[in-house]
Chain A
Amino acid sequence: MAEKKSIGLLALQEQVKNALDTHFPGYVWLRAEISELKQHPSGHCYLTLVEKDPDSNALLAKASAIAWASSWRMIRPFFEGQTGRPLAVGMEILIRVQVSYSVMYGLTLVVYDIDPSFTVGELELARQRTMARLEAEGMFGMNAQLELPLLPRRLAVITSETAAGWRDFQRQLSGNEYGFRFQLRLFPALMQGEAAPASIIAALDAVAAEEEAFDAVLILRGGGGAMDLVCFDDYELAVNVAQFPLPVLTAIGHDHDYHIADMVAHTHVKTPTALADWLIDRFAAEAWQIDTLLQRLHLAVRTHAMSQTSVLDALRQRIERAVSDRHAEARHRLDLLERRLDAVDPRRALERGFLIALKDGRRAATAAAFTPGDRLSVMFRDGVVEALVQRIEIPGQARTRAEREPRPAGANDE
């Protein structure tokens, strides 16, 4: 039996190491997914990197990697600053590594650099895929179809009890200038990190169990850093928000953030303070409507009063005019009477030159009333002449002799 050709373990390991060193003399840019990430107290970071089948998600390759403390303390803040989130399990990364082989510990990839833009792109792609899935499932607009009460007062609030945003929200709402009162109930939940979606979903379930007690549910976050908001792009959370039986109002981001949870919610505003203002404005608008009705009421009452006054004024004027007309008519009739009386006044005849004869102080209208020898008074316009009847002439008769020719009345009296 021929002796088999063999090699010692060390020699083999050294050959492998030499082969690797020859084949990978420098750095390699490597795409992989983080399946484990452990930061050692010494400052080094140990990672397990994997590659999965994109269709079946089956594990295709796996390797250990290490970022020495000297590299890690630069890589981590650089990555977080660029992406707004920490390195986490499940994340696709692009890292610059050196392939290192130890005869004692085997293959290790030593991490020297990272390209955050790759991860941002990957996350955005994942986000787009989630959005497309939700769109296909009809989740967008589903919660928005629920009717939000005109005055949502009974509010279930899902947030972290220690969040600055929660304090801001309470302060803004309770300190509103109109004195509107709201009923708030906190349902605590984790608002960042991997566990956040499940924690928020659990809080939503708790609210749903008392659905009748609330007008709406609020998901608040704010006051913390901008990191780790990726949890609000979570598919399961989005589905729970979209299908929630009460309107969901979100205020979970900063000015530049717009998350999938916002998109599927009934209403979303940027910050908890802005959400408080939004609620207050709803109530203020309604109070304004009531004030407007009150003003219309006052105006209508004033208008009616003025209208009634005007009717009464018109009546008074009609009465005054009627009285005045009656007075004028009476005056006119009196004038006519006066004129008629004036026309028959004997003084007017005297003024026109006629004379009036009086016998025994009474007017004598005919010559036949006298007999010669009678005394008569003859009235002129300027005085009375006492006379004696000498002769009377009545056409067709001769009553007595004439003592003197009578003068025509109105002739020269002077």
Chain B
Amino acid sequence: MEKDKKYEEVFAELEALVKKIEDPERDLTAIGEDVKKAMALIKWCRAYVQGNLEEVEKTMKEE
């Protein structure tokens, strides 16, 4: 349950970040960092839904 809460929080963060990136006024330099972070969040969310979060988190730490 707690894990699901965390997933919901991460998903909400991801959604907000995508909205920010979609803003046509968003600074280009900032978008680079936003996209990098969004891709990391997507990877985390996908791993959570798939049920292989532990493996992915381990790989991310090694990276």
Q: List the interface of chain A (C-beta within 8 A of B).
A: 149-151, 153, 178-182, 215, 283, 286-287, 289-290, 293-294, 296-297, 299-301, 303-304, 307-308
**Residues 29-46 of chain B: 1 if any A CB is under 8 Å from the residue's CB, otherwise 0?**
001000100110010011
A149 — which chain B residues lie within 8 A by C-beta?
A: 1, 4
- Known pairs A150-B7, A290-B46 / 18 extra A-B pairs, C-beta < 8 Å: A150-B4, A180-B49, A181-B51, A287-B49, A290-B14, A290-B42, A290-B45, A293-B18, A294-B42, A297-B35, A301-B31, A303-B24, A304-B21, A304-B24, A304-B28, A304-B31, A307-B24, A308-B28
* A308 CA to B31 CA, complexed, in Å: 12
A interface majority secondary structure: helix
Count of chain B residues near A, Cβ 8 A:
25
- Give the one of B7, B21, B52 with max A CB within 10 A: B21
B14 — which chain A residues lie within 8 A by C-beta?
A: 290, 293
Q: Is B57 an interface residue when CB atoms closer than 8 A count as contact?
A: no
Q: Which of B38, B46, B50 contacts A297 (CB 8 A)?
A: B38
Min C-beta distance of B46 to chain A, whole Å: 6
Question: A300–B18 contact, CB under 8 A?
Answer: yes
* A287 CA to B46 CA, complexed, in Å: 7
B interface majority secondary structure: helix
Query: Could you list 22 A-B pairs, sorted by A, with CB under 8 Å?
Result: A150-B8, A151-B4, A151-B7, A151-B49, A180-B49, A181-B51, A181-B52, A215-B1, A289-B11, A290-B42, A290-B49, A293-B15, A293-B18, A294-B42, A296-B22, A297-B18, A297-B42, A299-B22, A301-B21, A301-B35, A304-B28, A308-B28
A293 — which chain B residues lie within 8 A by C-beta?
A: 14-15, 18, 38, 42
Chain A residue nearest to B31 (CB atoms) is A304
Question: B50–A151 contact, CB under 8 A?
Answer: no
Min C-beta distance of A40 to chain B, whole Å: 55
A308 — which chain B residues lie within 8 A by C-beta?
A: 28
Min C-beta distance of B24 to chain A, whole Å: 7
Chain B residue nearest to A290 (CB atoms) is B45
* A304 CA to B29 CA, complexed, in Å: 11
Chain A residue nearest to B35 (CB atoms) is A301
B28 — which chain A residues lie within 8 A by C-beta?
A: 304, 308
Question: B46–A300 contact, CB under 8 A?
Answer: no
Min C-beta distance of A51 to chain B, whole Å: 52
Q: A180-B49, A181-B50 are in contact. Are A304 and B26 (CB under 8 A)?
A: yes
* A179 CA to B46 CA, complexed, in Å: 11
Chain B residue nearest to A147 (CB atoms) is B1
Question: B38–A286 contact, CB under 8 A?
Answer: no
Question: B48–A151 contact, CB under 8 A?
Answer: yes
